[in-house]
Amino acid sequence: MAHPKRKISRTRRDKRRTHDKAVAPTLSICPTTGTVHKRHRAYYVDGNLYYKGQLVIDKED
């Protein structure tokens, strides 16, 4: 198994990790229901499933 020949300094290690931080998800507001949801995902409102403002699955009472 390969081993590093030299120790990687804290500065070099931290430079590599600068892009590893968490990013907040992009949110949208539904034009039909007015709820906030993740983009390009289906979402439930009162038991009904919506996608792109369209009712996909209606809750059966």
**pLDDT tens-digit series, residues 5-32:** 999 999 999 999 999 888 999 999 999 9
Burial class (CB in 10 A: 0-12, 13-18, 19+), 51: middle
CA 7 and chain centroid, separation:
35
Q: How many domains does the chain have?
A: 1
Tokens, residue 61: 């009472």
Domain assignment of residue 19, yes or no = no
- The rounded distance, in Å, linking the Cα atoms of 50 and 41 is 9
Domain assignment of residue 54, yes or no = yes
Domain assignment of residue 43, yes or no = yes
| Residues whose CB falls within 8 Å of the CB of residue 30, separated by 6 or more in sequence, listed in order | 36, 37, 43, 45, 50, 53
Domain assignment of residue 16, yes or no = no
* pLDDT confidence tier of residue 34, bands split at 50, 70 and 90: very high
Domain that holds residue 55: 24-61
Q: Is the pTM of this model over 0.95?
A: no
pLDDT, residue 1, reads 79
Domain assignment of residue 10, yes or no = no
